[in-house]
Amino acid sequence: MATVSGASVKSIVVACEAGMGSSVMVAKQLAKQLKAQGVSVTHAPVNQLADTEHDLVLCHRGLGSRAKQAVPGSVVVMFDMFIGDLNIAKVVSLIQSGDDISDD
Amino acid sequence: MANFIPAGDGGHSGWRASVQKIGGSLAGMVIPNIGAFIAWGLLTALFIPTGWLPNEQLSSMVGPMIINLLPILIGYTGGRLVHGQRGAVIGAVATVGVIVGTSIPMFLGAMLIGPLAAWVLKKIDGVLDPVTPPGFEMLIGNFSLGIAGMLMAILGYLGIGPAVNVLSDTLGAGVKVLVDTGLLPLASILVEPAKILFLNNAINHGVLAPIGVVEAEEAGKSIMFMLESNPGPGLGILLAFWLAGPKILRGSAPGAIVIHFLGGIHEIYFPYVLLKPLVVLAAIAGGATGVATFLVTGVGLVATPSPGSIFAYMAMTPPGNHFGVLLGILLSAAVSFVVAFFILKASKSDDAADLDAAKAKSAAMKSGN
């Protein structure tokens, strides 16, 4: 388990298997929501997460264990739905309020 | 189903992660090159003798692309995943050895030798880098890659090419038996549940497509491209969730339908199935119906439709096959819808619990825990 302060999150990477399909979709949605906070949202294949610079990683629960293996030291938040997900909504609100985000 | 979070835990290891990892690296070699596959698929659909606009000159590009270009791109990408740009270059060089060693499109061979050659070069670089005198980096770097590349290409030609040829023939023969005996629809029993576990790319690009291209090169089309990528079952399932699913999921279903069926991002419906695991039966029934329809009407696609959108499907369908393809998608959607609808209706009593759990979770979220 790792924790990061919502106020310090400036870059988020959304991971999916190929880094070209679902992650791009989620990243685009998230970028719109976090535009005011100046957070950059990118996307990557889950096995190349280690090569990315990020304060926070998002990926679907089905790929969660691989994301954790790839970047054991990072905060990896797992979500369940590709649209209207509660965990993603929570991350957005925590970044907006500047509170701590943990991935327990 | 009181637990809102699906059982697909985020555990820290396990067979699923390992299988995904292997499959993911296979898919990782193919997916970045899908644009080239589409160029080849469109050229094939348009200009081969049975295409829309038969043209002998333009169709002469079809062979070299599938035999040479696409495997080299896969070997290049596979090498890059292991050892950056140098790995990519040696992967491409070594792939040529595999290609000329056989007469079939060498996708499996490229997936093997590309990363292997890059791994060998990585080891060589690991030894040479510390002992390279200043000023000799370029000389040693270029010649170590050149010599290792030559040796890997020879290894590919003599060893891996023929071995993969035998493997491809065996796989192809196995599939032919399934097609001839009409058992191919049973493949859905494996394919559909594996998809839901995010093995979709691994299966489609790692296993089915390499078999499909061999068949497509001979016959101009293959049903192998359609086993995993049919958007029909997902459409039926999402429709059922829209009309009969837990209330909390209904609102997002129409948007998911657009993203899935038109955009071709199948991942979007997996979470719905993970929340109601029994619905996987609907996916299997719909998938098998689709495969059976494709089989009976004798249709195929010229290349992998990726992403699995209805538009990609139509673009990759050869002339005269559109009716069978559309019918298969339609029937698989209908069957999935009916099965999923009844499963969801039957589990209605769980919904109150679901909603409570979701509300509790949402309340917890608002309080910032």
- Sign of the torsion formed by the C-alpha atoms of B176, B179, B180 and B186: positive
Question: Over the Cα atoms of chain B, what is R_g?
Answer: 23
Is residue B162 domain-shared with residue B208, that is, in the same domain? no
Nearest to B45 by CA among B221, B255, B178, B256: B221
Q: For residue A1, what is the nearest residue in chain B, using CA coordinates? A: B12
Is residue B124 domain-shared with residue B230, that is, in the same domain? no
Is residue B223 domain-shared with residue B363, that is, in the same domain? yes
Rounded distance, CA A61 to CA A81, Å?
9
Is residue B205 domain-shared with residue B176, that is, in the same domain? no
B288-322 b/e with 16+ CB inside 10 Å = b?
Answer: bbbbbbbbeeebbbbbbbbbbbbebbebbbbeebe
**Residues present in chain B in total:** 369
Model pLDDT, residue B9: 43
Model pLDDT, residue B126: 94
Boundary residue ending a domain (B132, B155, B181): B181
CA torsion angle A13 B28 B187 B228 (round to 10): 60
In a domain, B7, yes or no: no
Contacts of A1 in chain B (CB under 8 A): none
CATH of domain A11-98: 3.40.50.2300
In a domain, B102, yes or no: yes
Q: Is A22 on the interface with B (CB under 8 A)?
A: yes
Q: Is A12 on the interface with B (CB under 8 A)?
A: no
Model pLDDT, residue B360: 55
> Rounded to a whole number, what is the distance in Å from the CA of A66 to chain B's nearest CA?
6
Contacts of A18 in chain B (CB under 8 A): 27-28, 31-32, 201
Query: How big, in percent rounded to 5, are the helix, strand and coil portions of chain B?
Result: 80, 0, 20
Q: Tens digit of pLDDT for each residue in B226-279?
A: 999 999 999 999 999 999 888 888 888 888 898 899 988 888 888 888 888 899
So what's the ipTM on this one?
0.72
Q: For residue B27, what is the nearest residue in chain A, using CA coordinates? A: A18
Domain holding B149, by residue range, is: 61-181
Q: How crowded is the C-beta side of B124, counted as CA atoms within 13 Å?
A: 22
SS3 assignment, position A66:
helix
Model pLDDT, residue B7: 38
Is residue B323 domain-shared with residue B347, that is, in the same domain? yes
Q: Is A45 on the interface with B (CB under 8 A)?
A: yes
Q: For residue A83, what is the nearest residue in chain B, using CA coordinates? A: B252
Show the low-confidence residues of chain B (pLDDT under 50). Answer: 1-12, 366-369
In a domain, B42, yes or no: no
Query: Cβ of B6 and A97 within 8 Å?
Result: no
In B161-190, the residues whose Cβ lies within 8 Å of chain A are none
Q: Is A1 on the interface with B (CB under 8 A)?
A: no
Is residue B361 domain-shared with residue B230, that is, in the same domain? yes
Q: For residue A82, what is the nearest residue in chain B, using CA coordinates? A: B268
**Residues present in chain A in total:** 104
DSSP string covering B101-142, please? T-SS--HHHHHHHHHHHHHHHHHHHHHHGGGPPTT-HHHHHH
Model pLDDT, residue B3: 34
In a domain, B31, yes or no: no
Secondary structure of B287-302 as H, E, C letters: HHHHHHHHHHHCCCEC
> Rounded to a whole number, what is the distance in Å from the CA of B143 to chain A's nearest CA?
28
In a domain, B240, yes or no: yes
End-to-end CA distance of chain A: 5
In a domain, B268, yes or no: yes
Is residue B358 domain-shared with residue B259, that is, in the same domain? yes
Nearest CB neighbour to A47, from listed B24, B32, B267: B24
Total tally of structural domains belonging to chain B: 2
Show the low-confidence residues of chain A (pLDDT under 50). Answer: none
Contacts of B20 in chain A (CB under 8 A): 17, 63, 66
Boundary residue ending a domain (B130, B146, B181): B181
Q: Is B361 on the interface with A (CB under 8 A)?
A: yes
In a domain, B25, yes or no: no
Q: Is A50 on the interface with B (CB under 8 A)?
A: no
Model pLDDT, residue B145: 96
Cβ contacts of B261 within 8 Å, gap of 6 or more = B231, B234, B235, B238, B309, B310
Is residue B128 domain-shared with residue B254, that is, in the same domain? no
Boundary residue ending a domain (B181, B216, B233): B181
Nearest CB neighbour to B14, from listed A61, A65, A80: A65
Is residue B88 domain-shared with residue B191, that is, in the same domain? no
Mutate to test the interface with A, among B19, B200, B267, B268 (most CBs of A within 10 A): B267
Tracing tokens 């837990």 back to the chain, one arrives at: B246
SS3 assignment, position B182:
coil
Backbone angles phi, psi at B257, to 5 degrees: -60, -45
